[in-house]
């Protein structure tokens, strides 16, 4: 049997657009001799539709769109993710479903059984868990159909699997399934593509059966979906591979296990770069945004943000703003201009020295007798934020904020200043990884000046300021952040890993003290296993101090 995996990038609520794309791919799969085409989880609605699922008009529009799709496609069988109603009157009103149909007739319906409610997922808010399903006979093959989380029940790979008391894959295998298909909307984070591959290859070997995995791609608010659909032989070897971070269609022959093996990202830096490009491209397209603006400081963060923006949107749609102050070095201005020239983007220079002096004059009497401190530093950052928003309002450019995860974690950023923006593109990229991704960018096209990599990071808000005057070295800071935020280790365990007690205590105290800033930050794409923008839900006001005992 020849089966097409259609790795699409649906837009939430764009029902006609989604089914138009899907119908076109059905014709393409037919032209290549495929018997069945597979679309990802919730392909009709887009994923995740969130509280739109609580709107009856949205639900009915989705159901009507699916009916139009069923009526429209002829000549090929289709397996498609969509919503269906729960008519039992018990539990949530909807199922997350996979529907197999052909020539206008529904052949089989499966409901998602394992509904994740951890990290970025909240599916129990909307869906009722499906009952145990059974294989369906299709052209003499017993298909075992599962939806995303239904395969994430292997304790070796998934720390949350203990919450599930059933195993849909094992159940289908016991009922005679001989070919497994999983439709998915699995968001990207570093390391996750490899984890998915290990799970599915392990399941293929365990049940001596081929597995086909069809994942969605695209960016949706804070989530990025990497696609990377593939087919696995019964011995665990991959025999077909779709590209990552882009739409694709691959045709898998399950008789001789043949199919295309397309290239995917070769390193974490390439994955992050592709994820951020895709996230920005989809976010702006779906929000109707044509162009972006950002401050160019001459530092690594704004350089990487600008390079990604140009790749995603084209240099004609990126506008750079240089806003030097009395503390801005000549080297920073030179590096910002060199970057803009290399990227071929338009820029404007708006010095803030006179504006800053006006602020100080206005506040002189009120601040009399007090030393200059972080207040004056923040005023400069907020002047820059105001100028960027003025440009945004006048010309319609969305402001990209340029703060990285390390800064945002410890509050080394100014609310209503450098945090200003509509999208925080690198907000989940630690500072040490920023440098690595920037090196990857330069390996393709050396647009970031070499000096940007070598000079000490500085906010340049006071004389001779360096980031490490206020923070631990970034390799130390990022090491603590990874252990505390992503691995969720208690502070004492982090100290046991070799980090200085004072550094651990200071970093964690800064994380806790700056929760209020992150609540007001712009959204940004998730690329690590635990991002601030989504999935991490901590109270602002509390008195638990995890570092008090170290």
Which pLDDT tens digit goes with each residue over 482-509? 999 999 999 999 999 999 999 999 999 9
pLDDT in tens, 220-249: 999 999 999 999 999 999 999 999 999 999
Quote the pLDDT of residue 157.
62
Q: Do residues 242 and 286 share a domain?
A: no
Which pLDDT belongs to residue 391? 98
Among 215, 235, 264, identify where a domain stops: 264
Q: Give the count of beta carbons closer than 10 Å to the beta carbon of residue 197.
A: 17
Catalytic residue chosen out of the listed positions 26, 34, 41, 505: 41
Give the count of beta carbons closer than 10 Å to the beta carbon of residue 129.
Answer: 17
Say which residues have a Cβ less than 8 Å from residue 88's Cβ, sequence separation at least 6.
Answer: none
Flag whether pLDDT at 159 surpasses 80. Answer: no
Residue 250 and residue 128 share a domain: yes
Domain membership flag for residue 533:
no
Same domain for 251 and 345:
no
* Whether 41 is catalytic: yes
H or E element at residue 305: helix 300-313
Is 548's pLDDT higher than 80?
no
Choose the final residue of a domain: 235, 264, 293.
Answer: 264
Return the percentage of the chain with pLDDT > 70, whole number.
99
What value does the mean pLDDT take over residues 466-484? 91
Predicted confidence at residue 160, as pLDDT, reads 55
Asked about 174 being catalytic, the answer comes back as no
**148 catalytically annotated:** yes
| Whether 295 and 201 share a structural domain | no
**Catalytic-role residue among 26, 34, 80, 148:** 148
Q: How confident is the model at residue 374 (pLDDT cuts 50, 70, 90)?
A: very high
Label residue 274 by pLDDT band (50, 70, 90). very high
Q: Is the pLDDT assigned to residue 161 strictly greater than 60? A: no
Under the banding of pLDDT at 50, 70 and 90, the label for residue 324 is very high
Residue 481 is assigned to a structural domain of this protein: no
Residue 158: the pLDDT is: 65
Rounded to the nearest integer, the mean pLDDT of the chain is 95
Element housing 193 (H / E): helix 192-207
pLDDT of residue 118: 87
The range of the structural domain enclosing residue 178 comes to 2-264
Residue 250's Cα: distance from chain center in Å? 24
Q: Report pLDDT digits (tens) over 406-462.
A: 999 999 999 999 999 999 999 999 999 999 999 999 999 999 999 999 998 888 788
**Stretch 154-172: mean pLDDT, rounded?**
78
pLDDT tens, residue by residue, 94-103? 999 999 999 9
In terms of DSSP H, where are the helices of 344-373?
353-363
Which candidate in 26, 34, 112, 252 is catalytic? 112
């Amino acid at each position: 049997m020849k089966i097409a995996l259609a790795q699409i990038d649906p837009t939430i609520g764009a029902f006609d657009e989604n089914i138009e794309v899907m119908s076109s791919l059905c014709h393409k799969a037919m032209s290549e001799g495929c018997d069945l085409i597979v679309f990802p989880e919730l392909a009709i609605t887009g994923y995740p539709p969130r509280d739109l699922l609580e709107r009856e008009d949205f639900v009915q529009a989705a159901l009507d769109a699916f009916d139009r799709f069923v009526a429209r496609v002829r000549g090929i069988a289709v397996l498609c993710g969509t919503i269906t109603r729960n008519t039992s009157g018990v539990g949530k009103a909807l199922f997350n479903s996979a529907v197999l149909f052909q020539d206008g007739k529904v052949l089989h319906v499966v409901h998602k059984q394992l509904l994740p409610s951890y990290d970025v997922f909240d599916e129990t808010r909307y869906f009722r868990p499906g009952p145990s399903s059974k294989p369906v006979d299709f052209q003499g093959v017993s298909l075992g159909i599962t939806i995303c989380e239904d395969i994430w029940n292997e304790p070796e790979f998934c720390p949350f699997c203990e919450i599930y008391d059933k195993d849909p894959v094992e159940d289908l295998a016991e009922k005679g399934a001989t070919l497994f298909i999983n439709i998915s909307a699995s968001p990207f984070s570093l390391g996750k593509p490899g984890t998915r591959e290990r799970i599915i290859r392990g399941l293929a070997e365990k049940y001596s059966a081929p597995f086909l995995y069809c994942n969605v791609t695209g960016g949706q608010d804070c989530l990025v979906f990497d696609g990377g659909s593939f087919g696995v032989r019964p011995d665990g070897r991959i025999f077909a591979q779709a590209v990552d971070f882009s739409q694709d269609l691959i045709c898998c022959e399950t008789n001789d296990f043949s199919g295309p093996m397309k290239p995917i990202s070769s390193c974490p830096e390439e994955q992050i770069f592709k994820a951020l490009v895709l996230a920005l491209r989809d976010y702006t397209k779906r929000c109707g945004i044509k162009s972006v603006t950002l401050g160019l400081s001459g530092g690594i963060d704004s350089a990487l943000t600008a390079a990604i923006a140009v790749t995603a949107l084209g240099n004609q749609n990126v506008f750079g703003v240089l806003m030097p102050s009395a503390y801005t070095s000549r080297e920073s201005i030179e590096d910002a201009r060199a970057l803009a020239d290399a990227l071929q983007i338009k820029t404007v220079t708006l010095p803030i020295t006179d504006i800053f002096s006006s602020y100080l004059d206005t506040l002189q009497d009120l601040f009399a007798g007090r030393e200059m401190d972080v207040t004056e530093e923040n005023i400069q950052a907020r002047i820059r934020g105001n100028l960027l928003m003025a440009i945004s309002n006048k010309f319609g450019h969305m402001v990209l904020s340029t703060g990285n995860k390390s800064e945002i974690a410890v509050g080394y950023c100014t609310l209503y200043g450098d945090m200003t923006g509509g999208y925080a593109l690198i907000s989940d990229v630690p500072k040490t990884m920023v440098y690595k991704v920037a090196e990857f960018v330069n390996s393709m096209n050396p647009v970031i000046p070499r000096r940007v990599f070598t000079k000490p990071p500085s906010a340049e808000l006071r004389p001779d300021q360096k980031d490490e005057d206020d923070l631990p070295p970034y390799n130390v800071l990022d090491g603590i952040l990874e252990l505390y935020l992503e691995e969720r280790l208690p502070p004492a365990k982090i100290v046991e890993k070799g980090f200085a007690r004072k550094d651990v205590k200071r970093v964690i105290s800064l994380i806790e003290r700056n929760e209020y800033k992150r609540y007001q930050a712009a959204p940004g794409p998730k690329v690590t296993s635990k991002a601030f923008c989504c999935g991490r839900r901590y109270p602002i006001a509390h008195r638990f101090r995890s570092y008090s005992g170290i």
